[in-house]
Amino acid sequence: MSTEAGLPADLPRLSRNRPAPRPGIVHLGLGAFFRAFGVIYIEEAAAHSGEDWGIVGVSLQSPRVHDQLAPQDFVYTTRELGPEGEVLRQVESIVDVLVARENPEAVLAALADPAIRIVTLTVTEKGYCHDPATGRLNLGHPDIQHDLTQSLPISAPGFLVRALARRKAAGLPPFTVLTCDNLPDNGRLVRGIVLELAEKLDPELAAWIASEGRFPATMVDRIVPATKPEDIDALAQKTGRYDAAPVLHEPFRQWVVEDDFVPAYGSGARPDLGAAGVELVDNVTAHEHMKLRMLNGTHSSLAYLGYLAGYETIAETVADPVFARFVKDLWRREIMPSFRAPPGVDLEAYADALFERYANPGIRHRTWQIAMDGSQKLPQRILGTLSDNLTADRPSPGLSLAVAAWMIYVGGTDLNGTPIDVRDPLAGKLKALSDSAGDTAGKVAALLEVTEIFEHRLANALRPAVTAAYAALHKDGVRTSLEALA
């Protein structure tokens, strides 16, 4: 706890204003995003219906979130940061946080509890231990190798499968698996991963999950920047209480969910999400393509190019008129023609709203933060659009430039020769491949051969444009390369 700026170490901690609700949901991967997004929706839905939908959070690796929240009864503050100021709210739906690496048995017991009807996940793309290029379970992943031989798992798919096995053995219905990660066809993809692992362990279990389980797809959207120590101090000064784990978010939010929950629970299968503003649909694919390509695709593009141009945040990046024109052209020329809009959605208006969100000075979403785990993000955020554009013989110079910027970034040195702190599960491999090549063409060719990211046909088709873009970035810099696109 900070003791500077008039913040005494004995400031009172947050505490509950009302009794903790009984749990009905377990959430795997309790990071800032779900606490600033899903927990709020669920709390509002439960308040509307008067039902208990408490959430047991699970940190798969680090005890940090548990250690921050436990001394304050697992409640925390959200700070909505709009262009005209902020709105504070105390959130009280989390009732406990378990740490899987410290006590995997406690996590399995929570997942097997008959009161739990839904398991939500935000474990990031890499948490599913799959091959992003194919969507299949990566059987060579060390966590999956462990989970195939040990009864106490360590991976998210392992916990789902082992817990579902316990429920089957106890004669209980399965829980609904509701992924909230940015993956294409996320529900179907996670279903495939779970069934593949279950099949390896017990074919009868896999058949039961396939028949009785439900994996609705979702689309989630809210910008949630990382909380910094100065944010914690500023909140304490404002409220007179110490919150070790506040979360920051923009005003905008959107959650689209396929209304397909385990039918054995009847009307108790889910909270009244519609009352909280969740869009319940039959098929989420159109919304998902719109968001993954238009928001996440441009977010990643701006992150790599903005970082290489020296910008710390997305708001600073799009304040540069060259970058503003770039992202607007990217939407209009390369991304919006690549997919069909959801019914009733005006893509031009959606793009305008996205730009306003990016430009919000209250949200300091760092380019370095968005650039993390690019090997897992590129296939669904950018490469799917590139593949569709190639099929349609539609040029994609902006997205090719973004891929080239990613390649420079994962090489570990920026355009000025300054080292980059690259955070990616393939960071070592990507840097070694980049370092092993002597020239631009060799570096691009080596990175395009990473089959975990690039499908072979797409890699061959991208090579000329990405090689030229890589060379232009090194020769002319980012802004001049963007101006050349225009």
Residue listed under structure tokens 């593009």: 301
- What is the torsional sign of CA 184, 188, 191, 195? negative
By residue count, the chain amounts to 486
CA dihedral 141, 147, 153, 154 (to 10 degrees): -10
- How far is Cα of residue 221 from the mean position of the Cα atoms in its chain? 9
pLDDT of residue 9: 55
- CA 61, CA 100: separation in Å to the nearest integer? 6
Q: Which helix (H) or strand (E) holds 89?
A: strand 85-91
- 23-282 and 286-485 agree in CATH topology: no
User: Residue 42 and residue 278: Cα distance in Å, rounded?
Assistant: 10
- What phi and psi, each to the nearest 5 degrees, are found at residue 309? -85, -5
Alpha-carbon 193 to chain mean position: 17
Neighbours of 129 (CB within 10 A): 24
Per-residue DSSP letter, 413: B
Q: Is the dihedral of CA 346, 321, 83, 242 positive or negative?
A: positive
Phi, psi of 133 (to 5 degrees): -75, -30
Q: 405 near 308, Cβ under 8 Å? A: yes
pLDDT of residue 4: 44
Return d(Cα 468, Cα 484) in angstroms, integer.
12
Query: What fold, for 286-485?
Result: N-(1-d-carboxylethyl)-l-norvaline Dehydrogenase; domain 2 (1.10.1040)
> Residue 390 has which token pair?
């190639």
Closest of 214, 217, 211, 345 to residue 283, by C-alpha: 217
Q: How far is CA 327 from the centre of its chain?
A: 21
Architecture of the domain spanning 23-282: 3-Layer(aba) Sandwich (3.40)
Residue 291, amino acid: K
10, HSE (Cβ side, Cα atoms, 13 Å): 0
Cα separation values, 1 from 96, 236, 245, 348, Å: 22, 10, 11, 46
CA torsion, ordered 282, 285, 291, 294, to nearest 10 deg: -140
Q: CA angle, 391 as apex, 474 and 188 as ends, to 5°?
A: 100
CB 330 within 8 A of CB 381: no
How many DSSP H helices and E strands does the chain contain?
Answer: 22, 11
Q: What residue spans define the domains of the chain?
A: 23-282, 286-485
pLDDT in tens, the chain (486 residues): 444 444 545 799 999 999 999 999 999 999 999 999 999 999 999 999 999 999 999 999 999 999 999 999 999 999 999 888 899 999 999 999 999 999 999 999 999 999 999 999 999 999 999 998 889 999 999 999 999 999 999 999 999 999 999 999 999 999 999 999 998 899 999 999 999 999 999 999 999 999 999 999 999 999 999 999 999 999 999 999 999 999 999 999 999 999 999 999 999 999 999 999 999 999 999 999 999 999 999 999 999 999 999 999 999 999 999 999 999 999 999 999 999 999 899 999 999 999 999 999 888 899 999 999 999 999 989 999 999 999 999 999 999 999 999 999 999 999 999 999 999 999 999 999 999 998 999 999 999 999 999 999 999 999 999 999 999 999 999 999 999 998
